[in-house]
Structure 1
């Protein structure tokens, strides 16, 4: 069973113990800046106007990503022996949950969900774009591709990133296929979006005029209501805009929402959409990331198992890779992502879950 400091679970009791001890030890800004310098973190990357308890969440996460979490803990322990007992507990802790697989960097995860039951193969470009949403503040991401290439499946990785406790993000999803029984127009779409965010969903607009005017009125009302929400980070994922029941004015509404996001009118919001036609205003194109999906290949299956071998520290031979890939593809077709992911996950558990203990 891996040591907690190697693969920290930021939502468990060990993480709470660590952050409580760090916050007791040092809570003045100058001390925290000095500690960052001592462990090699660039102080200019932090917003020092935050409370110390919030700053420690970012500092520990960055140290873990850089492989310096143990160094940070030892440094604080040396400077403040009073919290040494709690920090020793953290240093000796091991991951005890059923999820045997974790990664230092959340966006690199190949297995997701309770029990690590869902596999994510490939998606290198999506992983990079999600980092841009988190760190470089690109606010709009679009995902396109033919049916069956994984646009909807993207939600699992996106939710995994958004669920990072250090991000403190509110995540909301609209799934066209599940949320609408038949044809959906802009008014119906904006009603569901407002409802998901806890806003007044009654839109009194003229629906018997040109579509562009109706959409503009709908979005203007939405933006005004959005301004009453508590100011926090929100990720909104809209899936399935290429479904046949989606009216053209829904695409117009999404494009206008993206423009409002780019203009800062929807405070600290990230907009992620699949299947959109791609017609955005020029300012949006400057802050937009786009992933065009194509089908998976056998090499992606090989890459999945190579990645697991690397993450768990368990070497794997080329022959084993071939055998694992053949076993997975005997159960599932490359075009069936749900079935393929389940088969790959089962094979991964059999091969890797019992080994790799440091």
Structure 2
């Protein structure tokens, strides 16, 4: 049994054109006009495929094909994008799920489980908060800022509570996604079975100096906050590499005050983000950073801590068997990016599988995956649904 690859590729392009601007990419942020257009497009696909579709109180779209029992195998991802994003991030997992349902129906397959395809809202976090839709779906706590922002879109705390599903109704959750990195392409491996989603920690580092005149203050009398921060930034990178070669460290935001070309910086603030499957190594890294650099002029504040999330071992084996059944190679790997699977794994047994991203590029107009990988990945998703349904 196979999916209709040409139809899937066509629909990925059609959905990608909603919110697309030449030279910029696809902008379909949650709760925007283009997002609503995209969701309506997907809803029509669900209904034309024989699924009962509905939008919940926070904007998640689900389509259900009734099985012999009420226990649900869910497949999904998100359909919101970053500004100027690509057409595959999230959309692949949703449309591949719909295509899998079509393949089952056209083959006359009668599933024991009900099959649900989920198009989560606001995974990206540009509007209300990261994975807002799947947090509501699974009953995970929302960030206080997210609750405040949601009100702007007429979403109340009661709506969020009412969007919660019952985990007892679910057998599992599966997600097909682009890697959004370059490992699979570099190693020429067509599929990555996801072991888990990395833990994330973010820290705000504030370095105090003394604001002074840039021309009349000699170099030996300066207390320059930016100069003091510079070795801390490179030092943090070295610490992360030394503690765990799989850890990533990013310092992508720096603020300098007063921010004038002719004034010595009196304050520098920068953000550290550390990601790793082993969150104990994150703790070791920041402890070493503090021991080397913390002083009375420096404050280090943790403002986000997200534990790593492990995927279900039995479902990983299902994906492995499906890859072997299709005579294709695979590897096991962590996901360095956050996904709705973080919340779904806390709700029901969950598994994810990646296909390669060309050039390792995502969140970009140049985001791309090979058609043959998209089709193969969708067929493996279909095989996994059937294998789980028969268990």
Q: Shorter-chain TM-score: which interval?
A: under 0.3
TM-score of the two chains, using structure 1 as the length reference:
0.26
Higher strand proportion: 2
TM-score of the two chains, using structure 2 as the length reference:
0.25
